[in-house]
Amino acid sequence: MTKSNVSRTSRAKVGGKARTEPCPNCGIAPDPAGRPFSITFNLPDVYYDIHPELLDTWGDDPFLAIKDVGFYLRVILPVKLTDGYAVDFGTWLKVDPEVFREAWQSWNFPEYKDFSCDGLLANRMEPWNPTLRTHVRARVRDMDQVPYVFESPDPLGARIVTEIWPHDEVLTHYAELLKSDPPTES
């Protein structure tokens, strides 16, 4: 994980009483409304590896092309965690130019609902650092959201998508982000 490349998307609060006690082991409290945490990678990691003078980009978010490097599309990678926690990683896929163009052309039109794509994960996510460049597939779940990763032909990628991971193992890497909210109750 590139520290400067990750942020937590703020989420609106809704009413209702949900378990918000922090976990005694990791100190992280679940989202008060029981929704997944959102942890967002601002850019593909490779962006930070390129000398600024050599960096030539088109677009920004959710479509980013980096000249001589590749085409990137923002997606959500949902990960299920133990004890009622979950996290949606906002991450990037490196996709073929044709896929990038297809996404661009359908993005704001009804045909977007049928959009799906293959690509390579473009962020090093904890605790699965070695999976950089893991091949995954994403499809549209909600017309108002970027595509969701839902399967992977790679064994570790498939585990990330389908297994329920110990929440501490994943969230402690992002503890600073997840504890940064002010308390919801005094």
Is residue 88 at the binding interface for Zn ion, with CB under 5 A as the rule?
Answer: no
The Cβ of residue 105 has, within 10 Å, a number of other Cβ atoms equal to 12
Least CB distance to Zn ion at residue 23 (A) = 3
The single-letter DSSP state of residue 131 is G
Draw the binding track, 21-50, toward Zn ion (x: CB under 5 A; -: no contact): --x-xx------------------------
Interface positions, 149-178, toward Zn ion (CB under 5 A): 168
At residue 144, the 3 state secondary structure works out as coil
> What residues contact 65, with CB distance under 8 A and at least 6 apart?
57, 58, 59, 71, 72, 100
Greatest C-alpha distance within the chain: 52
Least CB distance to Zn ion at residue 181 (A) = 16
Label the pairing between strands 63-66 and 70-81: antiparallel
Least CB distance to Zn ion at residue 29 (A) = 9
| H/E element, 72 | strand 70-81
Size of the site for Zn ion (CB under 5 A): 4
The region of 17-25, 35-43, 106-114, 174-182 touching Zn ion under the rule CB under 5 A is: 17-25
Q: Which residues pair with 57 in a beta bridge?
A: 66
CA distance 121 to 100: 14
Draw the binding track, 110-149, toward Zn ion (x: CB under 5 A; -: no contact): ----------------------------------------
Pick 23 or 65: Cβ nearer Zn ion:
23
Pick 110 or 183: Cβ nearer Zn ion:
183
Burial of residue 12 (number of CB atoms within 10 Å: 0-12, 13-18, 19+)? exposed
Least CB distance to Zn ion at residue 171 (A) = 7
Pick 2 or 82: Cβ nearer Zn ion:
82
Rule CB under 5 A: which residues touch Zn ion? 23, 25-26, 168
